Structure 1
Amino acid sequence: MMVTITAYTDEYCQAVADLFTQAVHAIDDEFYSKEQKAAWAPLDIDYYRWQQRLKSKHCFLALADKQLLGFIELAADYIDCFYVAPQHQGKAVGQALYQHVESIAREQKLAGLRVDASLVAKDFFSKQGFAVVSHNQLLRLGIRLQNISMYKGFYS
């Protein structure tokens, strides 16, 4: 499977929103409960909100034959959304997306990258050289979720 990383275009808005929802709901219940996943990614998807969000972000897509496999958003030095379709996880799609964003950050001479990683994504970011900064509690639709702030510096 040949994976191409490309800039987001509006034709993929619904696919991005659907992939996000599918990826969150596929997370094992040992990390987040069904209630937490429903608050994080409501099944009643607001495509208009996604369209507005994606217009305001630097989003990159992983595609194979025009099929969306994953996406990542970069805002200055912050990795915002970063999801891979459940059926394509563990197949280097996330690695390709991450490497693309890190290369952009390095070209822009950023000092490093920040991310608020989910509990399930922590190991991925640790393998990329990120260190834990803090453990966080946040509320989504009145439901408490946990994530982990992490940072990777490029220069020592």
Structure 2
Amino acid sequence: MLQIRDYHSEDAVEIADLYHASVHAIDDKVYSRQQQEAWAPTPPDYHFWQQRLQRNQPFVAWQDNRIVGFIELEDDGHIDCAYTHPEFQRQGVMSALYQYLQQQAQERNILKLHVEASKVARPFFEKQGFEYRQTNQVMRNAEVLINYSLDKKLIIS
């Protein structure tokens, strides 16, 4: 059964590996192998991830004694990382993570969410009610990656 919980420091290596696996599972017709490697270098930098995750405190999806996804919400409503393990994609993991994140955002009185979504993630966020704002070209390790700025206004009840 899928559970959503807060980040624990012992999650860092598993999340770094999930991130790497998720990026490298993208069809190379969408992002080339060179782009994937620039986005998520091999091997993962575990020290970087430990520091990042400690700072950002993501929400973690947990199932069958393993982490199957994670999502980050910053104080200004920015969603940074949103990744599902390749073996658990299209099983509702990101939908559950996003619903939890949106609830947390509303409880924190965040009025707008915004994200830079990859080509793969854009349809998911648009399905959640996000609107397209612009196309971005991001330089990462000498490779250009395309992503999309999207946002969504929240109703605070």
RMSD: 1.2
Q: Which amino acid aligns with 2:149?
A: S
1:101 aligns with 2:132: no
Alpha-carbon distance in structure 1 between the residues aligned to 2:6 and 2:41:
26
Using structure 2 for the length normalisation, give the TM-score: 0.96
| Residues 62-110 of structure 1, C-alpha deviations (whole Å, 9 max, x = no match) | 0013311000111110000110000100000000000010001111121
Alpha-carbon distance in structure 1 between the residues aligned to 2:57 and 2:48:
16
Aligned twin of 2:18 = 19
Q: Which amino acid aligns with 1:45?
A: P
Alpha-carbon distance in structure 1 between the residues aligned to 2:57 and 2:10:
15
Runs of 4 or more above 3 Å deviation: none
Alpha-carbon distance in structure 2 between the residues aligned to 1:66 and 1:87:
14
Residues 64-83 of structure 1: pairs in structure 2 closer than 5 A: 64-76=63-75, 77-83=77-83
Aligned twin of 1:152 = 152
Displacement, 1:43?
Answer: 1.1
1:30 aligns with 2:29: yes
Alpha-carbon distance in structure 2 between the residues aligned to 1:92 and 1:7:
18
Number of aligned residues:
155
